[in-house]
Amino acid sequence: MKWKERIILTLLGALGGITIILLCEFHGHKSRGKLGGPGSGGVGADNSGNRLSNESSILAYIFPKKYSEGSQETFENLLGSSRLVAAKALKRQQGGKLSLRGSPLTVMTKGSVRALGSIIRDEFGDLERMLDPSKQEYLLREREEDDNPSIADVLEINLKSRANLSNFEKFQLLVRKQTLYTEEDGVVDHLLEDMLTQDLTRVEQKKGGTQFKLVVDFASTGQAILKPMRFPRDRETLPNHFYFSDFERHNAEIAAFHVDRVLGFRRAPPVVGRLLNISSEIYPLAEGYLLHTFFISPAGNICFHGKCSYYCDTSHAICGNPDILEVSLAALLPPQEAAPRKSWLHPWRRSYHKRHKAKWEIDEAYCDTVRSEPPYDRGRRLLDLIDMSILDFLIGNMDRHHYETFKMFGNYSFLVHLDHGRAFESQRWRNFSNSTKVPSF
């Protein structure tokens, strides 16, 4: 006989032996009256003094370790799953119909209807214990504001022990995870006053960017970004000009800061307007290439133009009246060495091209794509982006191509609202009303 045939015969013999053992066990239980019989107090004994003896015997068969013969355990103490198993057993024994409708759960038999007890209702004791302050084993955070540390908290700097800090330093150290500043700190108003009144000690043209900007130092060692007035406030962007080919407006930075503050975002750096004397406050501090760009215009005004990608030449010079220049001063954020930031591409940025459109302008499924990818698929990032789009819509800013977050907060900080020089370019709602509000949909 081949070895395969031997294995098959062995398996068949084993199965036959197991079947015989199970049959003997079943007959042994039946002979001992576990399933009831004449005079045994089982299912067939309708005249028994114990109303639930039949059900108890069935449970003793189903759960032999938990229920002994003659147990007086009632169905009110059973779990829902145990009741259902017992009900099915009764149905098989008496040929009845199982009904799960209504409460309590019942089994309908040929001769009688036996109640299996009311369904146990969950009292949610675990939730009650969790909400009871006296039984809490951990702290529940009721509001997100509880998780709002400042840079000083992260760096473990005690501001109260450093009374000699300037308002610029306090502002930078009090930058928080969720806001750039808080009204409770009271530092911003003092900072605006300092930028409005303190003397300048140094000026230097800011590197990068497309238009002219200066980095200025104050007497208290604070720094700010200076944007000069290029044309009157009532001058609108020409209809045939693209959004990326116009001058930046110094007053747009000032107004955007106040709108951001009124909305309660508090994510735009503090900005103040100031009148400077070119002859006495800027020219004496100019150095290098910037110094060589100063000249006197045919109208007798003092002008300069610096060096940048756009509008930094004699035909686009910055001129005083005759030497008084209106500027905006925006407080600098903490230096990258102390509080590094990460720059992110705005998913709904413009194409910055006179013929090409951005992807979100031609792809109907673009919004779903953005929402399914990190970091916009979880957390507050997408909601913060919607806040930013609301601000851009209200101020008419179409020049939002990047945003920044603070790395020391795990890049889960608020989105810094920077660079609003191309806002408020028109007094009418034009194309920007359709482009800046796209993320909010």
Binding site members for Mn(2+): 248, 419
Q: What is the DSSP string of 208-271?
A: SSSS--EEEEETTS-EEEEEE--S-TTPPPPTTS-TTSSPP-HHHHHHHHHHHHHTT---SPPE
Evaluate whether 363 touches 175 at the Cβ level (below 8 Å). no
Choose the catalytic residue: 194, 323, 384, 399.
Answer: 399
Sign of CA dihedral 290, 269, 338, 158: positive
Q: Would you give the DSSP letter of residue 54? A: H
Tokens at 268, concatenated: 């735009």
Q: Would you give the DSSP letter of residue 434? A: H
Beta strand 324-331 with 113-115: parallel, antiparallel or unpaired? Answer: unpaired
Q: Is 272 helix (H, G, I), strand (E, B) or coil?
A: strand
Helix (H) or strand (E) holding 406: strand 402-406
Return the closest-CA partner of residue 113 out of 101, 125, 123.
101
Contacts of 117 (CB under 8 A, 6+ apart): 74, 75, 76, 78, 83, 104, 105
Tokens at 271, concatenated: 């900005």
Instruction: Give the residue ranges of the annotated binding site for ATP.
Output: 211, 227, 248, 330-333, 404, 419
Evaluate whether 62 touches 35 at the Cβ level (below 8 Å). no
Q: Would you give the DSSP letter of residue 335? A: P
CA dist list (Å): 37 to 32, 90, 175: 9, 14, 83
Return the closest-CA partner of residue 290 out of 377, 214, 392.
214
132 part of the active site: no
Residue 373 zone, left/alpha/beta (φ > 0; ψ -120 to 50; rest): beta
First-residue to last-residue Cα distance in the chain: 78
Tokens at 79, concatenated: 């779990």
Q: Is 356 helix (H, G, I), strand (E, B) or coil?
A: coil
Q: Which residues are catalytic?
A: 399
